[in-house]
Amino acid sequence: MHKVLTVCLGNYCRSPFAELVLAHRGGAELKVRSAGLIGKWKANLPTSP
Report if residue 47 sits inside a domain.
no
pLDDT of residue 47: 63
Residue 23's domain comprises 2-40
Q: What is the pLDDT of residues 1-49, one digit of tens each?
A: 899 999 988 887 889 999 999 999 999 899 999 998 886 555 566 665 5
Structure pTM? 0.70
Predicted confidence at residue 45, as pLDDT, reads 60
Q: Does residue 6 lie in a domain region?
A: yes
Q: Per-residue DSSP letters for 1-49? A: -EEEEEEESSSSSHHHHHHHHHHHHHGGGEEEEEEESS-GGGTTSPP--
| Residue 45 placed within a domain | no
